[in-house]
Amino acid sequence: MIERRKTRQVQVGKVAVGGDAPVSIQSMTTTKTADVDGTLSQIYALAAAGCDIVRCTCNDEEAAEGLAQIVPRSPVPIVADIHFQYRLALAAMEAGVHALRLNPGNIRKPQHIKAVATEARDRGLAIRIGVNAGSLDPGIAERHGGATPEALVESAVRELAYFREVDFDDVKISVKASNVALMIDAYRLLSETVDHPLHLGVTEAGPPPAGLVKSTAGIGTLLAEGIGDTIRFSLTADPVEEARAGRTLLEALGLRERKGLDLIACPSCGRAEVDVIAVASAAQAALESLNIPIQVAVMGCVVNGPGEAREADLGIAAGRGKGHLFVKGQVVRVVPEAEMVDALVEAAQRIVAEGIDAVLADRDVDAERIAAEARDELLQIQGTDANHSAEKIAKIRQVADEQVAEDA
């Protein structure tokens, strides 16, 4: 289990961030905020994909007016993204947003920063200090020789000091960079410096798959160390992909309860009796739409499949033209190969409706015998040691014995 760093807690609408609250998932709309219907459509899609908090740009008066219509109809809390005009932060609060994100590199006048913080304090709203390596205050960047972890953290701490001057501390902080190593080091330093909740992200990560890899490397590393209270995958893609990626990462780390399908599959090898990639893809498509919170395994052969995936709730392993359906490692049915995906879907629905014990109790009494016969047949054909490890071990021992004899 990951032991999370203790932080103070802030509230973003109905979502708690920090403290003992679950790590939350965020994304940002790509529509023009003035396009109320288009923006709301995207917000609803994000919420359906597991997003807890959505950020919308507030870059002009029309956007602020759009927020006034969006916020009351949104299924999740809305954060207004503010860059240069502090008055747009005030307008966004008038529109009813649940929180703000301010970039210290873009709003630099202390009186403007404190005016926004004062208003947020009076309204009981949270602010995220969103430091970005690409938009550091020039003075801070020059003092540290560029965008270093120390420079990013100094920017955040300076903004925090302005907030404290007006007794405002409902703050979460991010120190994002597109360089993964820089981002990790900056957050580590920040976590040692403040006790505020931290928003994790690799900014401008780019399109998948590279963007997914970079984001997962940065965010996942920190979460595994217990650092981070809310996250965003910043991908050059449909923002729904950001929400899905965030949900998948948190579920994989055990930081959020699984709400959807977790499909595991072997990477395939010479033992595989079917096209594992094709079967796994078909199973993913068929099961994902059901939104069933179980783990399902697709294995290419019956020799090792059920054993290797015994912890899965449900699985299928191919062997000699048939699919061996197993539940918690026990074979319950043998079906024709063409019906493997259909059998998985039917069994998944039964598990959700009746429970695993009921499905096990109703297993075909001949299934395990048929599976064992198929395993034995494949072992005869393929051998028990595809890697010839026994021969290699014997050779290693022979070489070692010869060396010992020579030394003597």
User: Which residue segments constitute the domains of the chain, with CATH numbers given?
Assistant: 9-252 (3.20.20.20), 262-382 (3.30.413.10)
- Mean pLDDT value across the chain: 91
Higher pLDDT, 405 or 88: 88
Q: What is the DSSP letter of 52?
A: S
Q: So what's the pLDDT on residue 386?
A: 47
Contact 129, 104 (CB under 8 A): yes
E-state strands within 92-237: 99-102, 126-132, 171-176, 199-200, 230-231
Percent pLDDT > 90 in the chain is: 69
126 DSSP β-pair partners: 99
- Beta-sheet strands, E only, within 217-305: 230-231, 262-265, 295-299
Q: Which residue has the tokens 């981002």?
A: 183
Whole-number percent of the chain with pLDDT over 70: 93
Residue 175 has pLDDT above 70, yes or no: yes
Q: Which two tokens mark 404?
A: 């010992």
> In this model, does residue 172 exceed pLDDT 70?
yes
Residues 6+ apart with CB under 8 A from 343: 316, 323, 325, 333, 335
233: Cα within 13 Å, side-chain hemisphere: 32
3-class DSSP state of 276:
helix
> 216 in helix, strand or coil?
helix
The C-alpha atoms of residue 165 and residue 160 are separated, in whole angstroms, by: 9
Residues β-bridged to residue 53: 26
Tokens standing for residue 317: 């392993």
* Per-residue pLDDT tens over the stretch 339-396: 999 999 999 999 989 999 999 999 888 887 877 777 777 667 655 444 455 666 777 7
pLDDT digit string (tens) for 31-56?
999 999 999 999 999 999 999 999 99
d(CA 149, CA 153): 6
Tokens 């998944």 identify what position?
Answer: 348
**What tens digit of pLDDT does each residue of 177-199 get?**
999 999 999 999 999 999 999 99
Q: Is 270 helix (H, G, I), strand (E, B) or coil?
A: coil
Q: Are strands 78-82 and 99-102 parallel, antiparallel or unpaired?
A: parallel
pLDDT at 304: 63
Contact 163, 176 (CB under 8 A): no
Instruction: Report pLDDT for 271.
Output: 63
